[in-house]
């Protein structure tokens, strides 16, 4: 898989969640995340939410499905997020206890 727009940190691959509300960017991200989960070369996937300005329960759903598939494939999926507004979406849905949430990419990558 081409690593364009992705970053490797240790054994983890890091991808950034789309910043705004652009539907096309969100569809592209969803497809990329599926491909990363299905690619055997990436045992740990980190989704960086640092620059995100809008995050809804629908966006959380994309991450939930990716997490389920990652677990089925014996992979790890971590999230980077410090924004209280976005963390509130995880907390309100009780997903803060399901996801591996960190405040830095290095921490999420296990470095």
Q: Which domains does the chain have, with CATH numbers?
A: 7-109 (3.30.750.24)
Residues 101, 90: contact at Cβ < 8 Å?
yes
How confident is residue 4, by pLDDT bands cut at 50, 70 and 90? low
- pTM for this one? 0.92
What is the Cβ-side half-sphere exposure of residue 66, based on CA atoms within 13 angstroms?
A: 28
> If you average pLDDT over every residue of the chain, what do you get?
92
Helix (H, G, I), strand (E, B) or coil at 15: strand
Give the Cα separation of 36 and 50 in Å (integer): 20
Structural element, H or E, at residue 80: strand 76-80
Residue 38: its pLDDT value, please?
A: 95
CB atoms within 10 A of CB 105: 18
pLDDT tens by residue, 5-53: 799 998 899 999 998 788 888 899 999 999 999 999 999 999 999 989 9
């Amino acid at each position: 898989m081409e690593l364009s727009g992705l970053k490797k940190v240790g054994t983890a691959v890091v991808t950034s969640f789309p910043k705004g509300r652009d539907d096309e960017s969100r569809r592209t991200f969803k497809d990329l995340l599926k491909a990363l989960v299905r690619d055997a070369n990436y045992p740990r996937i980190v989704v960086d939410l640092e620059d995100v300005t809008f995050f809804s329960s629908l966006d959380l759903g994309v991450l939930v499905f990716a997490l389920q598939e990652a677990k089925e494939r014996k992979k790890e999926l971590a999230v980077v997020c410090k924004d209280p507004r976005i963390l509130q979406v995880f907390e309100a849905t009780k997903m803060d206890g399901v996801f591996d949430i960190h405040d830095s990419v290095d921490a999420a990558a296990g470095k």
